[in-house]
Structure 1
């Protein structure tokens, strides 16, 4: 996957039980898309055992950085690993304008993955795969190039392959009997537990499959449920997650990367807002009728069930709209663009 003889690309991202694994997962997706073009490394502050395991499985080099909340100090720590010839990709909410200016002076090309649109961009490339976002939303340098919208969805290869081969055949019935629940890599508020409690009160639901991310600390809270009604799955590979998505009738997921994964594979889903930065996706999903519904954290049981009790025509419309935005070809587009960054 990584080309040891190629130019070096360093991913700077953090992840864990408090902030989830979204930044790292997006970087892993780009690594899979571009691995034959670069020699890849990940620079992470005090990586947890779960993060180390994920990177070890993918066989990527790890640069362990000191833990600090001081953005300037973190930039200095990263700069110590740069010779000026590396490509650097930043994905996180502490890599603001000053951080970018510091790193850009010490690397060949600076790439930023962003979903906040909160500060001036000094990067050579900005990737924002959020909904229908456009470059015009940003303040940036004249040289900055943008890859925006779901055409550049940052998903790992098994999801993209499933999207390319998804069935476009319309459903004849819709019965939410087997339900996938995945509220992200960490789910710090254990919203998954509330979703399960709500679904168990509905006789139509025969089985619930809960996928807990590697950084989720709440596994014990599901131990009392009968296994024939509630299945708990942990630390699944992307291939296994695809299989679980395909096996379910509907999914209840956070409005994060997992919702893009479900939409690409092609399953009806209900989105739940688990973080403030997901508001853009709420608007995107509602305006374009991609999700069956989008709920706030403080949803009620009746609100959840009403989004899953829709006529099959509405569900089919949602699936058709998914395909318009998620075609499984984003990896090809991103790889082609990254090739343009390399010397001829």
Structure 2
């Protein structure tokens, strides 16, 4: 069975997006390939998630570039996901004889990879690649965990009114964007419930009022997140993987951006009328929220189901 080595990290600084979406890809391919995950200093959460999918090998952060290369024999497919993997590092992997797949957000470097995946971008002209590089762009290549792909089959909520709201900005949320939008919803919207999904390191900086409609939740599994989004009329989040997850679940989504790698995805979602646009989330004056009489537009789900996306990835990796 052909080997695939997945290489991605997570931390409070860089977030968990790279790790989660790369592990989602491993989960899609684990039945057809011999998958191994490589990551630096994994947390207990990462370990528990990797153990559900495939074997893993921890790397030492101070030497992870060379350490990972030392594991390569040349007969593997390598999947890289992070901004610090340069063109030269890609070449070093290719020189080992490996096939290479890069997951991209920023198209900010030249790629010598055999395949580049960017599920938030559809404009191939933006990518600087080799003539042989295959581009896998757009939501047909959505890197989503299994519960979200399965959620595509569910019937969407029928109400167009905003009664149940989920707020999810993840991680430590040092700018307390969560607190801002929780307060906005409580002050200006007539809703039945608000669920704020937060990380363990989250501390609310806002003077958030006590309200029986509000509950904070953390350490949710992918299935619990999918269930929450499927049960929500509106999800307020950043233009990130969480946004794609909410759209897959058929929820109405209000999204904005606060780091550069989210801005382009946000603009694409805004232009396609897939979200209620909130702009730069750090500019609180530009971030608008719906009033109590607002209704959600009825929109089709923009993500295809699990069988379609699984077949796409199995085909492209079998070709490698």
Shift of 1:53: 2.8
Query: Which residue is equivalent to 2:188?
Result: 202
Shift of 1:110: 0.8
**Pairs within 5 Å for 1:165-204:** 165-167=154-156, 171=158, 173-174=160-161, 176-202=162-188, 204=190
Query: Which residue is equivalent to 1:45?
Result: 40
Match of 2:85 among 89, 95, 99: 95
- Determine helix, strand or coil for the equivalent of 1:286: helix
Cα distance 1:66–1:107, how it changes in 2: closer, same or farther (>3 A)? Answer: farther
Per-residue CA shift, 1:57-95, capped at 9, x if unaligned?
A: x14222111113xxxx54212111112222110000101
Shift of 1:54: 2.3
* Residue 26, structure 1, aligned to residue 16, structure 2: no
Query: Which residue is equivalent to 2:223?
Result: 239
Query: Which residue is equivalent to 1:144?
Result: 133
Query: Which residue is equivalent to 2:60?
Result: 66
- For residues 260 and 291 of structure 2, the distance between their equivalents in structure 1, rounded to whole angstroms, comes to 21
Per-residue CA shift, 1:199-223, capped at 9, x if unaligned?
A: 222351332101224xx41157699
Unmatched segments (≥5 aa) in structure 2: none
* Residue 296, structure 1, aligned to residue 285, structure 2: no
**Pairs within 5 Å for 1:191-270:** 191-202=177-188, 204-213=190-199, 216-218=200-202, 226=210, 228-270=212-254
Count of aligned residue pairs for this structure pair: 318
Shift of 1:332: 2.6
The answer to whether the 8 Å contact 2:147/2:226 transfers is yes
User: Over the residues paired in the alignment, what is the CA RMSD in angstroms?
Assistant: 2.4
- For residues 212 and 306 of structure 1, the distance between their equivalents in structure 2, rounded to whole angstroms, comes to 22
- For residues 228 and 16 of structure 2, the distance between their equivalents in structure 1, rounded to whole angstroms, comes to 20
Unmatched segments (≥5 aa) in structure 1: 1-5
* Residue 105, structure 1, aligned to residue 95, structure 2: yes
Query: Which residue is equivalent to 2:10?
Result: 15
* Residue 327, structure 1, aligned to residue 316, structure 2: no
The answer to whether the 8 Å contact 1:154/1:331 transfers is no
Cα distance 1:95–1:178, how it changes in 2: closer, same or farther (>3 A)? Answer: same
- Determine helix, strand or coil for the equivalent of 2:183: helix
More helix as a share of residues: 1
- For residues 192 and 274 of structure 2, the distance between their equivalents in structure 1, rounded to whole angstroms, comes to 25
Query: Which residue is equivalent to 2:67?
Result: 77
Cα distance 1:302–1:9, how it changes in 2: closer, same or farther (>3 A)? Answer: closer
* Residue 275, structure 1, aligned to residue 259, structure 2: yes
The answer to whether the 8 Å contact 2:7/2:81 transfers is yes
Match of 2:106 among 91, 116, 121: 116
Shift of 1:17: 1.0
- Determine helix, strand or coil for the equivalent of 1:164: coil
Task: Return the TM-score normalized by structure 2.
Answer: 0.90
Higher mean alpha-carbon deviation, 219-228 vs 45-54, is at 219-228
- Determine helix, strand or coil for the equivalent of 2:74: coil
- Determine helix, strand or coil for the equivalent of 2:56: strand
- For residues 172 and 61 of structure 1, the distance between their equivalents in structure 2, rounded to whole angstroms, comes to 43
Shift of 1:15: 0.6
Cα distance 1:241–1:222, how it changes in 2: closer, same or farther (>3 A)? Answer: farther
Shift of 1:311: 4.2
Higher mean alpha-carbon deviation, 190-199 vs 87-96, is at 190-199
Shift of 1:103: 1.4
- For residues 36 and 128 of structure 1, the distance between their equivalents in structure 2, rounded to whole angstroms, comes to 23
Shift of 1:277: 0.6
Query: Which residue is equivalent to 2:142?
Result: 153
